[in-house]
Structure 1
């Protein structure tokens, strides 16, 4: 697949909130081994923004919640229904969508990419994405998958569909493919944390 750099985040967003409050970042992780980097990435964003975290059930296999910065609330699928008891109660995925100024999904697994491209919303993360106001707020996604999955024509089609939504994909980088041990141009390895957290500049 062709790697294209994501557009930078609108600087007006930061000018707007610099005098009043920090920008609000919804940082999410789906099930990928790159989720082991989620804590470090969370600390990077926490240096300049208010951060809330959303993690899928599979992402929890790779994340040590206790290693995240203090002050960062972590939401899982269970929280979606725990917050709702009866008609009229607030809906978590709607409230998180309203709270955030921007969303970053890192890592974005092939499975979650496929769900988003197809409009599926079967967990908290994909419900937030489905409810997102793409006309007003940005979404950045950093894919993480094997080289064969990243270069697959199905992934290319899914990437084109999310691009039509206005999503900015932060392309994978040249790394060793864990499935083959080889360094390849489109390895599918998630971009470095410093690159992902610098997308605001």
Structure 2
């Protein structure tokens, strides 16, 4: 069994979350368990009923509801221990900046901060071309790569806003291939 944690941020590319989950769970030769961590802004881009029933979804409210006293489990720590691989798809500009600078103000960024660097963390940037082309973006991506995180590069296409250029999240099939290559997946 391979435990995959998927993180989704406030990018319109989060609309691809159901497809990513279904694609991973549809790999017949693999035994996979999926949990999902979403930011509050990511919730805008998907409907919970569209997520496969075998995939658990967590958000900030779950972090705070689960802890009442000393000794209670802390969700972001438990998720970082549970997962064999962490895939942040999409990683928007805001969360990229937070992670690269060590901020941890929500469940997703706290989980990333608690992530063991010996395990794969795969990130899939997604943002408007103008945001992607800003010099800070390359610096922040380089920071994550320097920690051993694996980038699935953006692609160029017409974005939801109508702009054309680099910044779109990689296709789901590409992301699944990268997960398979980096995850400690046992073939059955």
- TM-score, normalised relative to structure 2: 0.90
For the residue of structure 1 that corresponds to 2:72, the secondary structure is coil
From the superposition, tell whether residues 180 and 62 of structure 1 become closer, same or farther in structure 2 (CA, over 3 Å): closer
1:149-185 C-alpha deviation (Å, 9 max, x unpaired): 1111010111111111111110011211444533x3x
For the residue of structure 2 that corresponds to 1:122, the secondary structure is coil
In structure 2, stretches of 5+ residues that fail to align are 182-188
Q: Which residue of 1 is the match for residue 55 of structure 2?
A: 72
State how far apart, in whole Å, the 2-side matches of 1:178 and 1:54 are.
23
Matches within 5 A, 1:171-186: 171-182=153-164, 184=165
Q: Which residue of 2 is the match for residue 10 of structure 1?
A: none
In structure 1, stretches of 5+ residues that fail to align are 1-21
1:87 Cα offset (Å): 0.7
State how far apart, in whole Å, the 1-side matches of 2:14 and 2:109 are.
17
1:61-85 C-alpha deviation (Å, 9 max, x unpaired): 0011111111111100000011100
* Contact preservation (8 Å) 2:129, 2:163: no
Q: Which residue of 1 is the match for residue 169 of structure 2?
A: 190
Give the 4+ runs in structure 1 shifted more than 4 A: none
State how far apart, in whole Å, the 2-side matches of 1:177 and 1:65 are.
24
Match among 20, 23, 39 for residue 18 of structure 2: 39
Q: CA RMSD in A?
A: 1.1
Equivalent residue pairs, number:
176
Matches within 5 A, 1:82-97: 82-97=65-80
Match among 103, 119, 131 for residue 149 of structure 1: 131
* Contact preservation (8 Å) 1:144, 1:189: yes
Q: Which residue of 2 is the match for residue 133 of structure 1?
A: 116
For the residue of structure 2 that corresponds to 1:53, the secondary structure is strand
Match among 44, 69, 72 for residue 61 of structure 1: 44
State how far apart, in whole Å, the 2-side matches of 1:172 and 1:160 are.
14
- TM-score, normalised relative to structure 1: 0.85
